[in-house]
Structure 1
């Protein structure tokens, strides 16, 4: 961040905006969002975060012909979904993060020829 804008201040300002965005995004149908994305000329788009939502957004935008750059802070994609290995004995692990799969995830599984049900 800049010299006068701390990470804490950014997060405090971004939280209400992201909450509102999450609320309103659930009121739109996926088909209307995709048709809106395909109705414009190709754009350069930056998707922040390579969690499932970011990966799906980047995938859909690329399918619509946009030039997409995907940014992720961690060294791995997946967001909160990850395999926990460090806390356990050798050979043991746990899967963490995913607890809710919407139709967008089912669609992605189908497009990648993965079982969706």
Structure 2
């Protein structure tokens, strides 16, 4: 995938089955972080302020990822496990067969924002 110019271009270039998931994540992040800016950082779309990234998301060949602070992942480890999703140090992966809920997206985004003090 080439460097995206904006969120729409990133989602359009993603594999077809993942586009609805990316749209869901984008919409929920926009709701949870209404005053944050849509940004492109580390070749992926995200939300933040200036150079501070609160949350980013990405598509791979068969799954997507939501990337937030390590503290946000740790604080919501039980919620992530309850949805049957795989956490990493800085994110959580999900797929069309095992999507992430809107509630978990919001929890992670708000926890990451608190971690950054924004």
Structure number with greater Rg is 1
TM-score (structure 1 length as normaliser): 0.29
TM-score (structure 2 length as normaliser): 0.29
Q: Determine which structure has the larger strand proportion and give its number.
A: 2
Q: Which has the higher contact order (CA 8 A, sep 6+)?
A: 2
